[in-house]
């Protein structure tokens, strides 16, 4: 009986999660491939899909992006899976620091695929500013792709 209850609970959980994922109107594989093509001449390193839920009020979501020092990076954001535009801001410190500096913003840029190449490699923080919904709850996704370019230090003689 206990095994039957665990199996039923597992199936119910999978069903609920898969229905929540299918409600978003984005094909993450296609969005990721489109973003990777924007990396050239950088190599693909990682990606993250963020589900965006538009609610009765505006909201923010922040992710941390660790970068290795001495490497060159390119960040690509594919916003084609969003029903409404989301502003992407990149900072040098997390939201708990009052003196953090804005390194990049997509505000005023209506492109569906945007990119940013940081001058220095260090930990960065990406903030998504999500506008409020128009009466009906909506959802979508934004795909973040990170690329790197190898830099070799040559020794002078």
Whole-structure pTM value: 0.78
Q: What is the DSSP string of 90-142?
A: EESS-TT-TT--EEEE-TT---SEEEE--SS-S-EEEEEEEPPPSSS-EEEEE
Structure-block tokens of residue 114 = 């945007």
Q: Between these two residues, 154 and 142, which has the higher pLDDT value?
A: 142
In the predicted model, is pLDDT for residue 157 greater than 80?
A: no
Cα dist from 31 to 82, 121, 157, whole Å: 11, 26, 47
Average pLDDT, the chain: 84
54-58, 125-129, 133-137: range with lowest mean pLDDT? 133-137
Mean pLDDT in residue range 71-91: 95
Mean pLDDT in residue range 9-32: 59
Cα dist from 145 to 59, 87, 96, 108, whole Å: 22, 16, 25, 21
User: What is the Cα–Cα distance from 108 to 3, expressed in whole angstroms?
Assistant: 55
Catalogue all structural domains in the chain, each as residue range(s) with its CATH number.
26-149 (2.60.120.380)
Beta-ladder partners of 5: none
Mean pLDDT in residue range 39-45: 94
**For residue range 7-19, what is the model confidence (pLDDT) as tens digits?**
444 444 444 444 4
User: What is the Cα–Cα distance from 94 to 90, expressed in whole angstroms?
Assistant: 10
């Amino acid at each position: 009986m206990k095994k039957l209850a665990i199996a039923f609970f597992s199936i119910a959980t999978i069903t609920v999660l898969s229905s929540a994922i299918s409600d978003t109107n984005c094909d993450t594989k296609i969005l990721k491939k489109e973003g990777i093509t924007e990396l050239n001449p950088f190599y693909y390193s990682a990606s993250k899909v963020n589900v965006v839920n538009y609610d009765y009020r505006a909201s923010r979501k922040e992710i941390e992006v660790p970068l290795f020092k001495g490497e060159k990076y390119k960040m690509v954001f594919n916003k084609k899976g969003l029903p409404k535009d989301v502003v992407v801001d990149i900072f040098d410190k997390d939201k708990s620091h009052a003196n953090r500096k804005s390194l990049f913003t997509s505000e005023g840029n209506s492109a569906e695929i945007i990119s940013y190449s940081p001058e220095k490699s260090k930990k960065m923080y990406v903030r998504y500013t999500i506008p409020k919904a128009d009466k009906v709850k909506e959802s979508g996704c934004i795909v973040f792709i990170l690329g790197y370019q190898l830099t070799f230090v040559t020794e002078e003689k």
